[in-house]
Amino acid sequence: MKLIERTLQAKKQIALVAHDNQKPALMQWCRKNHDAISQHTLFGTGTTGALLNKTGLKVSCLLSGPMGGDQQLGAMIAEGRIDMLIFFWDPLETLPHDPDVKALLRLATVWNIPVATNEATADFLITCPYFAQEFKTQIPDYTGYLGERTNI
Ligand SMILES: O=C(CO)COP(=O)(O)O
């Protein structure tokens, strides 16, 4: 797959998601980092987003994860509408919507966006200078990919 350059703007589109057992940790992390996070445009799955709005952040809520919210975020990542994913997923519970969780994490990898799946990584991301600056990444050359596949 050929790659092309993509620029993440200084003001980022950030997705915030947490499974139920991790919601208190994400809420605490967001409270602690309110000033830095609130500089960006925020999206969340339904329950996570609603809880985070109670902390004073402005989060646009999608559907709840198991009801399609994870897939909505995956689609937004594929369309280049999400720049970063903070997803405190639960490694100790089996979830009925595990395929959706896997699909979301897979698309985040395909489209090469920064992902934090635990607090330590989230701390690394938020203290990285690029959190508040423009950042260049490499993403799949979708037009080239389609061109090759249709050149038959
Ligand atoms: O299930 C989720 C992620 O897989 C999160 O969904 P909620 O934010 O609605 O709980």
Does 65 sit in the ligand 1 pocket, CB within 6 Å?
yes
The pLDDT of residue 152 is above 90 = no
Count of structural domains within the chain:
1
Does 74 sit in the ligand 1 pocket, CB within 6 Å?
no
Local confidence band at 99 (pLDDT 50, 70, 90 cut-offs): very high
Report which DSSP code applies to 112.
T
Burial category of 29 from C-beta neighbours within 10 Å (exposed 0-12, middle 13-18, buried 19 and up): buried
The pLDDT of residue 40 is above 90 = yes
Stretch 3-21: mean pLDDT, rounded? 98
Local confidence band at 119 (pLDDT 50, 70, 90 cut-offs): very high
Range of the domain at 31: 3-150
Domain holding 42: CATH number?
3.40.50.1380
Residue 150 Cα, ligand 1 centroid: separation in angstroms?
37
Predicted complex ipTM: 0.99
Q: Which of 16, 19, 102 to mutate to test the pocket of ligand 1 (most atoms within 8 A of CB)?
A: 19
The pLDDT of residue 141 is above 90 = yes
Local confidence band at 5 (pLDDT 50, 70, 90 cut-offs): very high
The pLDDT of residue 113 is above 90 = yes
- The residues carrying an active-site annotation are 70
Residues 50, 61: Cα–Cα separation, whole Å? 7
Residues 103, 66: Cα–Cα separation, whole Å? 12
